[in-house]
Structure 1
Amino acid sequence: MCDIDHLAEMKPTGKGFNRRQFGAMGMAAGLAACAPIEGGNAAAAGGLSEKNVSFPAPGGTMDAFFVHPGSGKHPAIIIWPDIAGLRDAFKVMARRLAGSGYAVLVVNPYYRDQPAPQFADFDDWRAQGGMEKVGPWRAKNDAKGVQDTARAVVAWLDTQGAVDTAKGIGNQGYCMGGPYTVWTAAAVPTRVKAAASFHGGGLVGDAADAPINLLKNTQASYLIAIAKNDDARAPTEKDALRAAAQQAGRKAEVEVYPADHGWCVLDSPVYDQVQADRAWGRMLAVYSEAL
């Protein structure tokens, strides 16, 4: 579906935010700029609580960003960032989601090698030769590696006072993080009840641990949002995913969006606010029903 290596060729459009703009926005402005279009904001009454956290995970120490409403217990959400890792763009997105009533953990996918942020924003990823730099780090995030990490992440979340353990956990991933959402759902099926993949790569394959072949091992509902240029590269994969979900008995919304790979991430060179908001709304609908 997505040839991840084509990311290096993405042409800037001027639509994405950069690190200086995030700094100028600040937390309150960031929330306003990314205010949910769905109505109802849990942050309005008591504000948000946020902190950088760390905890043991296979192969190292996980560093992550945790944000949640200032009071009460809430369903937990795990965010798997794209290839440029945990950075300000994903913190802003996490605050937006927390404002809708979730306890949100943005993980560092490269924690085995370097603490976050490895890159300030997507432009910095490009400037530093990010594709080559992250290659050895990304290689450790195969199905087993991600599932081992996911178990540690879920275990940590379930010890947090802000997390409602009576409700399922959701998880969402972008670009390379797309398949991580299925692997996470398969790693802890009794806890992970929703998965959302945005312009995710590597969802379809012949290997036994390919995400498409693990849907049957999960108890999650799915949103699979596909970029138009990814679909053009692999036009049969959307139907394969729908068929696999149906065979597995999993509810799945699989849709091709009229936007390019990377459209959902705030600092992406091809960020598309209209289509990103539409995908965000569909994600919230899945979470509302499944968690």
Structure 2
Amino acid sequence: MNEQLKLHAEAQASQDLSRRDFVAISVAAGLAGGTATGAAAALPVTTDEVMIKTPEGSCDAAFIHPASGAHAAVVLWPDAFGLRPSMREMGKRLAAEGYAVLVPNPFYRVAKAPVFETAANANFKDPALWEKLKPLMGSVQAAGAAERDAAAFVAFLDAQPQVDKKKKIGTQGYCMGGALVLRTAAAVPGRVGAGASFHGGGLVTDKPDSPHLLAPKIQARVLLAIARNDDEKQPDAKDKLKSAFADGRFAAQVEVYPALHGWCVPDMPVEGGQAIYNQAEAERAWAALLSLYKTALA
């Protein structure tokens, strides 16, 4: 079982803004998040079921966008339970903020979505669950797979009339999707202007292809929100992430949230009598995400 499986089993302004300005904006977002709410959608949205041609097949995905106009695009990478209703709802919420959102099935090489309808009944201590998850996750974590997918997804988005190609693309990911965010930003650096990982798994490993080592290739502003129990398990990861981005175009915003791995995803299960989803901290993270996109994708 790889490192991120263990972690999950035990509980992811303008181009000329200075790093100092970006950090100030990020801090303000964190404060604003304390009063954020899951308000009703500001814009009506449309969901299109699409198939995207990739070098390895056809990826089924949800393309969710405001009903009219052209907007900055975002690739939303799901967690290990894949494209399902909860991820669609997160995509709809983001689209209602004025973004054209692609939520791909990361496991298209193995199965069509949804592989899971919900994560609410998952038992992370059940070996059978991991036997099902490992080949699914392995299909997108294989060398070069996410990078090839990222290029195909960006090409698809840039061909859509609902996407404003004058604006940079954002990408966000949860748990397993956190590492895919960094791979996406590094694979298409000229188009990706912002990346956000929430309770991301496997961002820092001892392997030569560790995602954090991609920092020199990334030109995007990056937000890395770490779960409390992930930080306890790997306390040096946050420092390695900060160091990896220190000499880049933008310093990464790295923050440990007082919440469990998976805290941003509404359909996470209750474990040991404790709910993984933490609405207050999820809303704070959402506010930080919106501030990042408002700054970097303008």
The residue aligned with 1:77 is 74
The residue aligned with 1:198 is 198
Does the alignment pair 1:55 with 2:52? Answer: yes
Q: 1:59 is aligned with what amino acid?
A: E
Q: Structure 1 residues 7, 206: closer, same or farther in 2, change over 3 A?
A: closer
Q: Deviations over 1:215-270 (max 9, x none)?
A: 11011001100000000001111011111111223231100000000000010121
TM-fit CA distance, 1:125: 4.7
- Secondary structure at the counterpart of residue 247 of structure 2: helix
The residue aligned with 2:130 is 131
State how 1:20-169 maps to structure 2 within 5 Å: 37=37, 42-43=42-43, 47-126=44-123, 129-142=128-141, 143-169=143-169
The residue aligned with 1:279 is 285
Structure 1: distance between partners of 2:45 and 2:127: 33
Deviates more, 1:158-167 or 1:58-67: 58-67
Q: Over aligned residue pairs, what C-alpha RMSD do you find?
A: 2.1
Structure 2: distance between partners of 1:88 and 1:38: 17
Identity of aligned residues (%): 46
Structure 2: distance between partners of 1:155 and 1:138: 23
Structure 2: distance between partners of 1:141 and 1:68: 25
List 4+ stretches of structure 1 deviating above 6 A. Answer: none
Q: Deviations over 1:5-42 (max 9, x none)?
A: 343454xxxxxxxxxxxxxxxxxxxxxxxxx7498954
Q: Structure 1 residues 128, 101: closer, same or farther in 2, change over 3 A?
A: farther
TM-fit CA distance, 1:130: 3.0
Does the alignment pair 1:185 with 2:182? Answer: no
Q: Deviations over 1:61-115 (max 9, x none)?
A: 1001111111110000101100011100001111110011000011111000100
The residue aligned with 1:26 is none
Task: List gaps (5 residues or longer) in structure 1.
Answer: 11-35
Q: Structure 1 residues 91, 108: closer, same or farther in 2, change over 3 A?
A: same
Q: 1:209 is aligned with what amino acid?
A: D
TM-fit CA distance, 1:131: 1.7
Q: 1:180 is aligned with what amino acid?
A: L
Task: List gaps (5 residues or longer) in structure 2.
Answer: 12-35, 270-275
Structure 2: distance between partners of 1:100 and 1:252: 24
Q: Structure 1 residues 6, 230: closer, same or farther in 2, change over 3 A?
A: closer
Q: Structure 1 residues 265, 86: closer, same or farther in 2, change over 3 A?
A: same
The residue aligned with 2:296 is 290
Q: Structure 1 residues 116, 48: closer, same or farther in 2, change over 3 A?
A: same
Structure 1: distance between partners of 2:8 and 2:212: 23
Answer yes or no: is the 8 Å Cα contact 1:2–1:233 preserved in 2.
no
The residue aligned with 1:5 is 6
Structure 2: distance between partners of 1:124 and 1:156: 34
- Secondary structure at the counterpart of residue 139 of structure 2: coil
So what's the TM-score if we normalise by structure 2? 0.83
State how 1:187-266 maps to structure 2 within 5 Å: 187-266=187-266
Q: 1:129 is aligned with what amino acid?
A: A
Q: 1:276 is aligned with what amino acid?
A: A
